[in-house]
Structure 1
């Protein structure tokens, strides 16, 4: 075992213990130990002590330089030995870089999970006694770019997804010194084993037919096959893009969105029974049963002029909203609405409220993509337990 000799000034050590806090004592002790360790490593590297003549000598001492090291109790300043030819490198910084990496990963995880950069800097300062700038935390997140880009462009031809869910949400982004709204397009998929995953993410200017069409084309270029069913709200551009890009695919109008639209058109008072009867339609076990229940609903309330607008919305959207009943019973509860994607959007929104305004489009793509990746990993870990 390597033996290291320490020369301690007991009066200085006593003063440090009596008059300093524990962190200061730990820092002082670490500085002493690590400096002495590096000195011993240089002696071993040179294969000669100070002023010693030796045929095995590899190099010569060349003084010291100071270097900071950030550790759990804060920043310490070390006296790093040098050699004349400069080939000697102590192991201290290599070993403690693992601590730096852990701290870096922790900061990234905080940002991805919706902690503001201001709070991250405060947390790091409390943990380490050394603050980091907001700009440093922001630049740190750029390390996620290659990881998120690889995930966002992964091949989709390794398995078949019979059911796709599409939706868009709006965020605020700073662009050319102005704050503008941007649409975040997200597509999730469910395979035949009822396992879901995010297969597409895009940030674009507005939600439109052209934007959805381009999004779907990108997914197809990655190997996505036409599904049996695409579930979404009734955005006209989205619906048109589904018809153009997924030939032979049925469109399922989200039943939750449709029911909300109908209920909004109902009078405010005495509608409890009407709403209950409306919901019975979507508790049907088959398309024929749903149609029969819908006709009963229309016959019961068709003469009420106050319900005319609500009934028109039901008639217009009904057939598109019961396409899920054509699928296998075991899938129907999962494919009648975009609720699973809505919940995901809510989690994104919760983190987005912390940021409020993304500094640019790439930062929005990066952080939303990183969250979606992290969320998938968590869901996978839960399933594997």
Structure 2
């Protein structure tokens, strides 16, 4: 049988002038109240042990009231982690072995203090495992190993898997798709990994992230897998896919969603096709191209491009060739109502999601694995969910226009939001 606990009772602690002097000194020292070794940490340890003693007394009394023979049977010593650092606790035992402590259950090594939540929050803000280890030591005097921190962040992996496999809606009005690149350690060396983001607006104007995917590079095969996954998870119809100039995307989409319109981002197109324009010509060239995509109709846009070719075709023929090559997918937005045009002529919405990611993990040069990258990006986005899970502005008017334009293709999916 273990020795009787030598911890003071709460009554003894509160009657001890020296203890109160130490607490008063700690309060005015501007040090963390619950740093390791502080009198408040000692108080917490005492309270935990006293609470456990109270639990076993209640359990023994309950079993005796039921006519069973039972009594206390010593203690089991163990150390647990807390925000106050390691605590030495003595878990009481009973003769029957039926006592199950509630405050610190058997085999638990941590006082429920929200420490896991804080570690996940720090990880979501772009801190590395070593950063978190150092911050916890500084803030709470808690020394947690890198392995323990990694194990805590791994708790989110089943949640990510469930999120990535969740059932999606049958219909989306707009889906934005884009890729962002990161350095990841793969097969012993660091290489660039394409991280695909799929961001949507449903028939009721609600924005949502549908999925995140990773691959070594972009291409028709990879985009085909992404689109097939969306279909497998329940997506039946999409009005518009908005993309950058993604290699092989249009071909892949035609195989999976043949009725869907592809709109290539005009902002990217402008940026890419004016990279080699002379500074002295830049304003005039941009003005000429804006006249193309700000036209009211495709016919007017085609006329504006012809006018641009007359003025600049001799010097910047490659611009004209590039725009004509992608014409159908650049000007697709002109077939839609004006309010929706503003939403689909650019991939800015999904790029705003990427800015959230870059801002939070900008100090990170590379990741140890695909899993580490996925964990941190997922936590970063969920930590900032309010910034991207919004209602599309002015959606009711857009919804009315879509019903007029597409009829049953839209209305059959317009159940309650």
Alignment TM class, shorter chain as reference: 0.7 to 0.9
CA distance in 2, matches of 1:198, 1:180: 26
- Selected match of 2:276 from 252, 265, 270: 265
CA distance in 1, matches of 2:315, 2:338: 36
CA distance in 1, matches of 2:40, 2:116: 23
Q: Which residue of 2 aligns with 1:193?
A: 204
CA distance in 2, matches of 1:55, 1:190: 61
Asked if 1:59 corresponds to 2:70, the answer is yes
Asked if 1:138 corresponds to 2:150, the answer is yes
Offset at residue 264 of structure 1 (A): 0.8
CA distance in 2, matches of 1:285, 1:195: 28
Q: Which residue of 2 aligns with 1:235?
A: 246
Offset at residue 167 of structure 1 (A): 1.4
CA distance in 1, matches of 2:229, 2:198: 12
Contact 1:162 1:190 in 2 (8 A): yes
Offset at residue 139 of structure 1 (A): 1.8
Offset at residue 55 of structure 1 (A): 10
CA distance in 1, matches of 2:147, 2:272: 44
Q: Which residue of 2 aligns with 1:14?
A: 17
Contact 2:265 2:345 in 1 (8 A): yes
CA distance in 2, matches of 1:129, 1:103: 12
Q: Which residue of 1 aligns with 2:164?
A: 152
- Selected match of 1:220 from 231, 234, 237: 231
Following superposition of structure 1 onto structure 2, how do residues 88-103 of structure 1 map, counting pairs within 5 Å?
88-93=99-104, 100=112, 102-103=114-115
- Selected match of 1:107 from 119, 122, 128: 119
Contact 2:240 2:263 in 1 (8 A): yes
Contact 1:74 1:129 in 2 (8 A): yes
Q: Which residue of 2 aligns with 1:371?
A: 380
SS of the residue 1:306 aligns to: coil
Cα separation, partners in 2 of 1:301 and 1:65, compared to 1, 3 Å: same
Cα separation, partners in 2 of 1:63 and 1:356, compared to 1, 3 Å: same
Cα separation, partners in 2 of 1:208 and 1:80, compared to 1, 3 Å: same
SS of the residue 1:358 aligns to: coil
Cα separation, partners in 2 of 1:308 and 1:37, compared to 1, 3 Å: closer
CA deviation vs aligned residue, 1:345-385 (integer Å, no higher than 9, x gap): 222233443343222222323332343444445544789xx
Contact 1:61 1:82 in 2 (8 A): yes
Aligned length in residues: 371
Cα separation, partners in 2 of 1:234 and 1:120, compared to 1, 3 Å: same
CA deviation vs aligned residue, 1:111-164 (integer Å, no higher than 9, x gap): 1232222222233223322121222222211111121111111112x3411322
- Selected match of 1:43 from 48, 57, 80: 57
Asked if 1:297 corresponds to 2:308, the answer is yes
User: TM-score, normalized by length of structure 2?
Assistant: 0.79
Contact 2:74 2:94 in 1 (8 A): yes
Asked if 1:345 corresponds to 2:357, the answer is no
Cα separation, partners in 2 of 1:187 and 1:84, compared to 1, 3 Å: same
SS of the residue 1:180 aligns to: strand
Q: Which residue of 2 aligns with 1:320?
A: 329
Contact 1:162 1:227 in 2 (8 A): yes
Q: Which residue of 2 aligns with 1:335?
A: 344
CA deviation vs aligned residue, 1:301-335 (integer Å, no higher than 9, x gap): 23xx3322233223333332110111122211000
SS of the residue 1:207 aligns to: coil
Q: Which residue of 2 aligns with 1:279?
A: 290
Q: 229-238 or 21-30, which moves further after superposition?
A: 21-30
SS of the residue 2:274 aligns to: helix
CA distance in 1, matches of 2:90, 2:323: 77
- Unaligned residue ranges in structure 1 (runs of 5+): none
Q: Which residue of 1 aligns with 2:188?
A: 177
CA deviation vs aligned residue, 1:68-119 (integer Å, no higher than 9, x gap): 343443332223222233222333326x999636221221122123222222
- Selected match of 1:307 from 291, 304, 316: 316
Cα separation, partners in 2 of 1:10 and 1:336, compared to 1, 3 Å: closer
Query: Which structure has the highest helix share of the two?
Result: 1
User: TM-score, normalized by length of structure 1?
Assistant: 0.85
Q: 335-344 or 54-63, which moves further after superposition?
A: 54-63
Contact 1:265 1:310 in 2 (8 A): no
RMSD over equivalenced CA pairs, Å: 3.1
CA distance in 2, matches of 1:364, 1:46: 50
